[in-house]
Amino acid sequence: MIRIGIVGAGAIAAVHIDSFLQFASLCEVVAVCDTFVDKAHSLITDKKVNAQAYADIQTMLDEGNLDAISICLPPNMHATVAIQALSSGKHVIVEKPMASSLQECDQMIAAAKKHNKLLCVVSQNRWKTQLNNTKRIMDEGLLGKVVHASFDSLWWRGSVYYDLWWRGTWEQEAGGVFTSHSVHYLDLMQMLFGMPKKVQAFISNINHTNSECEDIGFAVFTYEDKVINFTSSLVSHGEKQAIVINGEKASISIPFSVSSYNSLPNGFPEQNKELEKQIQKRYEELPALELEGHPAQLLNFLRAIEQKEALALDGNVGRQTIELIHAIYKSAVLQRPVDLPLESTDPFYTKEGLVQKMPRFHTKGKSVDNFSTSKITLGRDFNA
């Protein structure tokens, strides 16, 4: 039985506990830690788990007899606590964003290697039926060579969202909408297409005056053989998130739709109904995932601890998404295209470099310790 400790008893911790509870034959949540220890007690009571509440992380690591921890803390603590736990011999699953800098990512990866423990980064949207089946269609070559894709990573948050003490500063949250929200879609981009060679980006903050960081941004990624445009927004009512993949033979979109054109002798389009039907049929015959989202990823983490499955999303994969984000920030600040990968000598490799270089769009003037509700949404589902 894998003994789990949860660090941080805020909004996402509840999702982790609900997920672990689905696998009661594999694991048990035996510890919950929060500096506001009453929050740890409330979560234990609400979720009816037989766990000990702690106010201090090191005490939990020393006394909890744990095998693994879930890090559900604000982003600037991810690296320190992950390294602390790995050094105490615990496997670690850490919420997104993996860390505040590439340097921190590298330190986490090194600690996992040194102590021979698993380091897993949450990116639960990889476990979505629509995404997996779209990838399958693309990999089977039904679209032809992919030449272009577009990502609409569209979200909406009210201004008070940034009143929470750790949000809306480069120091604590490590970024704005690209870091905290589009991290999901940037991870899907690297899952579908790998890493680009170059990025050119723009960021701004147009409607969240209690945040130093961006609430909107645009990036264009260049690959050897394709271009991707990426929109990241926190001002989009309806959160109509979408991915469109354009191949030479056909286009496929999430939420699912398919289109195909043949060329007329003058280059104008003629609908290729036959290929559209073929892709639609193939898509419909592909099976649905048994589990989606956090439960699916946490189950993979548990099975990897048991050495029954490979870990699907380790520190190296998590690091690549941070690299995409920090290359976007570098390009936006320098107002020019930026080559990937970012070298360890780059000022944007460290948190100090990033914090020093990034613009302050607004001054964070208001700060609350906690909101009256922990209710959150995890973004519109592709099906919605």
Ligand X SMILES: NC(=O)c1ccc[n+]([C@@H]2O[C@H](COP(=O)([O-])OP(=O)(O)OC[C@H]3O[C@@H](n4cnc5c(N)ncnc54)[C@H](O)[C@@H]3O)[C@@H](O)[C@H]2O)c1
CB of 86 to ligand X, least distance (A): 17
For ligand X, the closer of residues 7 and 322 by Cβ is 7
User: Which residue from 261, 292, 289, 299 is spatially nearest to 378, judged by alpha carbons?
Assistant: 292
For ligand X, the closer of residues 9 and 275 by Cβ is 9
Of 47, 90, 91, 96, the residue at the interface with ligand X (CB under 6 A) is 96
How many binding residues for ligand X (CB under 6 A)? Answer: 26
For ligand X, the closer of residues 334 and 376 by Cβ is 376
Question: Would you count residue 12 as binding ligand X (CB under 6 A)?
Answer: yes
CB 76 within 8 A of CB 99: no
Rounded distance, CA 253 to CA 280, Å?
12
Question: Would you count residue 34 as binding ligand X (CB under 6 A)?
Answer: yes
At 362, give phi and psi (nearest 5°).
-145, 170
3-state secondary structure 236-271: CCCCCCEEEEEECCCEEEECCEEECEEECCCCCEEE
Residue for token pair 């559209």: 276
CB of 164 to ligand X, least distance (A): 6
Cα Rg of the chain, angstroms? 21
Question: Would you count residue 208 as binding ligand X (CB under 6 A)?
Answer: no
Question: Would you count residue 80 as binding ligand X (CB under 6 A)?
Answer: no
Question: Would you count residue 84 as binding ligand X (CB under 6 A)?
Answer: no
Question: Would you count residue 73 as binding ligand X (CB under 6 A)?
Answer: yes
For ligand X, the closer of residues 96 and 117 by Cβ is 96
Calculate the dihedral angle through the C-alpha atoms of 187, 191, 192, 194, rounding to the nearest 10 degrees: 100
Q: What is the DSSP letter of 94?
A: E
CB of 132 to ligand X, least distance (A): 18
| Contacts (CB under 6 A) with ligand X, residues 48-67 | 57
Query: How large is the angle between the packed helices 129-139 and 183-193, nearest 10 degrees?
Result: 30
The residue number whose beta carbon is nearest to ligand X equals 10
Of 35, 88, 129, 207, the residue at the interface with ligand X (CB under 6 A) is 35
Question: Would you count residue 325 as binding ligand X (CB under 6 A)?
Answer: no
| Contacts (CB under 6 A) with ligand X, residues 165-194 | 180
Question: Would you count residue 313 as binding ligand X (CB under 6 A)?
Answer: no
The token pair at 311 is 């870990």
For ligand X, the closer of residues 220 and 296 by Cβ is 296
For ligand X, the closer of residues 76 and 246 by Cβ is 76
Question: Would you count residue 39 as binding ligand X (CB under 6 A)?
Answer: yes
Site string (101-140) toward ligand X, x via CB under 6 A: ---------------------x-x----------------
Rounded distance, CA 158 to CA 63, Å?
40
CB 312 within 8 A of CB 123: no
Rounded distance, CA 214 to CA 370, Å?
22
Phi-psi domain of 50 (left: phi exceeds 0; alpha: psi -120 through 50; beta: other): beta
CB of 228 to ligand X, least distance (A): 22
- Residue-wise burial string across 41-63, b where 16 or more C-beta atoms lie within 10 A, e elsewhere: ebbbeebebebbbbeebeebbee
Rounded distance, CA 111 to CA 76, Å?
17
Question: Would you count residue 214 as binding ligand X (CB under 6 A)?
Answer: no
For ligand X, the closer of residues 251 and 297 by Cβ is 297
Rounded distance, CA 30 to CA 49, Å?
7
Which one of the spans 33-41, 112-120, 198-206, 267-275 is the region binding ligand X (CB under 6 A)?
33-41
For ligand X, the closer of residues 79 and 338 by Cβ is 79
Q: Can you give the binding site for ligand X, defined by CB under 6 A?
A: 7-13, 33-36, 39, 57, 72-75, 77, 95-96, 122, 124, 164, 180, 376, 378
